Structure 1
Amino acid sequence: MKFRRLTFTAMIAALSAIGAMIKIPVVIGSAALDSAPAFLGAALLPAPIAGAAAAIGHMVSAELSGFPMTLPFHALIAIEMFVVVYGFAKLHQRNHHLLKWLFAVIVNGILAPLPFYFLISPQTYYAITPGIFIATVINAVIAGLCLPAITKVTGKVGDTCR
């Protein structure tokens, strides 16, 4: 089973990297389709590994943009992405289907940019949040459309790689 988990982890990380190349125009930052595959990872992987795939996806997305908000800020965002997808995966595995989407959109789209209110300026938060929110919704819609097929193919809801 370890080989299967490694294979799914590599697949999700690779899909996150590919999604990172599909940019969503925002005022400042590197919004992309990097978290949709990580949300799908919630159906295949343990929560910590799905979260790690999200963090990797964000770092690839930021690197492809030239780290527009500096490496330390993007490291913070990668940690936030880990937390968002970890929480999403836990809610998915407990069959909280509506709550997991609300969690993902609110935490990633509104709360995750909040540190930049204090670290940079309130104006930065207000400038980046609409774009990040829209990117989060797009990622969630893509994952939401694909997740039923993933669940049907794997035959389980949650970690299939135990």
Structure 2
Amino acid sequence: MNNTKNVSMSNIQVITRSGLLIGLSAIGAMIKIQGTIAFDSMPGFFAALFISPMAGGAVASLGHLLTAFTSGFPLTLPMHLMLTVVMGIIAYFFGVIERKVNGVLACVIAILLNGPVATFIAGITASLLGLPLSGSAMFTALVIPLTVVAAVNVILAYIIFKVLPRK
């Protein structure tokens, strides 16, 4: 009986913490650098470390959707749904790599995945959707700002995780 109570409290804590971090993603989604490049993913990367990789993926995905929504879904809804999945996968792997290997490697991989790799995937997807800004033009226009903002989001999440006291 007591064990069931602890499991329920754990689920409540996960849901509460995830909800708070989704709220922070909404705030970050309003701090845009260029188009849909914003500070929405830091809470997702933090959640991947603090709660679980799965929770981090969910928070990062919702963070991207919030940014895309507040930007008017430039480059179409299908494009942003694909990017939502990509963000979730990147945050998930960030949490897994940090737990299994180390935080520095997790940060480097997450920045590379969220910067150049995600931009490359977006360029290909935009080409397949027949969008005007696509392929190498999209990659060239977005790779630097996306990588810089990705680095800020990932490194800030990692620093906060490291300095936050744990019980």
Interval of TM-score (by shorter of Structure 1 and Structure 2): 0.7 to 0.9
TM-score relative to the length of structure 2: 0.84
Q: Is the 8 A contact 1:9 1:49 kept in 2?
A: yes
Which is higher, the Rg of structure 1 or of structure 2? 2
State the shift of 1:95 in Å.
Answer: 4.7
Q: Is the 8 A contact 2:38 2:149 kept in 1?
A: yes
Check 1:47–1:145 CA distance in 2 against 1; reply closer, same or farther (3 A cut): closer
Residue 74 of structure 1 corresponds to: 80
Bigger relative contact order (CA 8 A; separation at least 6): 1
TM-score relative to the length of structure 1: 0.86
Matched, 1:123 2:129: no
Normalized per residue, the structure richer in helix is 2
Matched, 1:154 2:166: yes
Give 1:10-159 correspondences, 5 Å limit.
10-24=19-33, 26=34, 29-118=35-124, 119=127, 120-150=134-164, 153-155=165-167
User: Equivalent residue of 1:4, what SS?
Assistant: helix
Q: Is the 8 A contact 1:42 1:92 kept in 2?
A: no
Question: What is the CA–CA distance in structure 1 between the aligned matches of 2:156 and 2:96, rounded to whole Å?
Answer: 19
Question: What is the CA–CA distance in structure 1 between the aligned matches of 2:47 and 2:114, rounded to whole Å?
Answer: 16
- Alpha carbon RMSD of aligned pairs, Å? 1.4
- Listed as ranges, the gaps of 5+ residues in structure 2 are 1-9, 128-133
Q: Is the 8 A contact 1:59 1:75 kept in 2?
A: yes
